[in-house]
Amino acid sequence: MKYKGSPGFDHAQTPRIGVLITNLGTPEAPEKKALKPYLKQFLSDPRVVEVPRLLWWFILNVIILNVRPARSAEAYATVWEEEGSPLLLHTRDQASALQEALTQRHGDRILVDYAMRYGRPAVSNRIQAMLKAGVRKLVVIPLYPQYSGPTGGSTFDALAEDFRARRWLPDLRFVAQYHDHPGYIRALADSIKAYREAHGSADKLIFSYHGEPLRYLEEGDPYHCQCHKTTRLVAESLGLAEDDYLTTFQSRFGREEWLQPYTDETLKSLPDRGVRKVQVVCPGFSADCLETIEEIGEENREYFMDAGGEDYAYIPCLNATPAHIDFLADLAEEQLSGWLEERTDPALSARLAAEMGYVPKS
């Protein structure tokens, strides 16, 4: 195997610290032909769908990829913005705001970038660019507060896949979860509090998280427990009573049982139980995307209202709000312990390398 070298390496380059935020990824356009490669890459990942490969290859290629792209494209078209997918735009805005916050705190030592696990900008593409810009120490923060194999685990796989082809690896720190970080809980609780101060409260606050197959929990995935812990900590911080809120799971896919209770079925049943006003928040998503804007903001609103509900509100994700960015800057900073001391004198390194007669190939 020929390992990838270090493009443009220069001994006089100041070593930098990289902070790479990532999210799931999104199609290039809200169209069937763009949905197909996106869904194929995503749903072929064994971390996402844990089904024997041969059987899954058949189901995916013969059934799902012939039906789902058109249906998903229609849903994406309802949320698409002029500049692109909401998930991509929010992630880009988070990266630039985080760059600004960390530059204010530490000058130009820290380089922030963003990548998507599936689709573009790809993880390996951004790592290559960061290394080229002199990054020798790298913090990776997948923006999934609660860890799960299909999200954080899979992002680590993408990093590992990139690193196994590289000659010179950077120092690496990886934030696998932050579901109970006091700064994250505070940012969430404050956003709910601000929403309720502006719009009033509801009979119930629903904490809706993306689901996953129940089997993953049974086989040791901590995601379900971490979602419940986030809910409990936010509820405590808001001073809610047990009857004031619920944790539910959305975005079911396929036929097997997923984590329960399901968001849609819960919302359909609440009016009969005397709950007429609900507010829904999605603390498993750090940016608004198809699953929050369309599924929670539109589809589930209809279920609730059709079942006799009177008032339904969706409280937006933290996105690139100052409170979220401040927290992410703190989270990144916690990972920098010992990394901010400068141990390299680039000019001296360059002079010694020149004396040695060493000229690296770029």
Ligand X SMILES: C=CC1=C(C)c2cc3[nH]c(cc4nc(cc5[nH]c(cc1n2)c(C)c5CCC(=O)O)C(CCC(=O)O)=C4C)c(C)c3C=C
Minimal distance, residue 273 CB to ligand X, in Å: 27
Tell me whether residue 144 or residue 184 sits nearer to ligand X (CB atom).
Answer: 144
Could you tell which of Fe ion, ligand X, none binds residue 87, using a CB distance below 5 to 8 A set by kind? Answer: ligand X
Sign of CA dihedral 213, 281, 73, 86: negative
Q: Considering only CA atoms, which of 146, 98, 116 is closest in space to residue 42?
A: 116
Q: Least distance (Å) from ligand X to the CB of residue 131?
A: 27
Q: Name residues contacting ligand X, limited to 25-54 (CB under 6 A).
A: 26, 43, 48-49
Contact flag: residue 289 with ligand X (CB under 6 A):
yes
Cβ atoms of residues 183 and 313 within 8 Å: no
Q: Select from ligand X, Fe ion, none the partner in contact with residue 224, using the beta carbon and a kind-dependent cut-off of 5 to 8 Å.
A: Fe ion
Whether residue 74 is annotated as binding a ligand: the answer is: no
Query: Sign (positive/negative) of CA torsion 288, 195, 279, 142?
Result: positive
Stretch of residues binding ligand X (CB under 6 A), selected from 157-165, 169-177, 194-202, 283-291: 283-291
Q: Which is nearer to Fe ion, 99 or 251 (CB)?
A: 251
Of the residues 165, 225, 340, 347, which one makes contact with Fe ion according to CB under 5 A:
225
Burial class (CB in 10 A: 0-12, 13-18, 19+), 53: exposed
Could you say whether residue 253 binds ligand X (CB under 6 A)? yes
Contact call for residue 24 and ligand X (CB under 6 A): yes
Known binder of ligand: residue 342? no
* Contact string (CB under 6 A) for ligand X, positions 62-101, x = contact: ------x---x------------x-x--------------
β-pair partners for 110: 17
Q: Select the span of 10-18, 175-183, 285-293, 310-318 touching ligand X (CB under 6 A).
A: 285-293
CA distance to 64, 185, 280, 289, 301, per residue, from 71 (Å): 11, 35, 25, 16, 19
- Binder among 210, 224, 301, 324 for ligand X (CB under 6 A): 210
Quick one: which of 22, 91, 99, 148 contacts ligand X (CB under 6 A)? Answer: 148
Alpha-carbon gap, residue 196 to 218, rounded angstroms? 36
Residues 6 or more apart in contact with residue 283 via CB below 8 angstroms? 145, 188, 207, 209, 227, 230, 231, 234
3-class DSSP string for 118-154: ECCCEHHHHHHHHHHCCEEEEEEEECCCCCCHHHHHH
Q: Cα–Cα distances in Å, from 210 out to 28, 73, 119, 259?
A: 22, 20, 20, 9
Q: Which does 147 bind (CB under 5 to 8 A by kind): Fe ion, ligand X, none?
A: none
Q: Which residues are annotated as a binding site for Fe(2+)?
A: 210, 291
Interface positions with ligand X (CB under 6 A): 24, 26, 43, 48-49, 68, 72, 85, 87, 144, 148, 150-151, 210, 212, 223, 251, 253, 284-285, 289-291
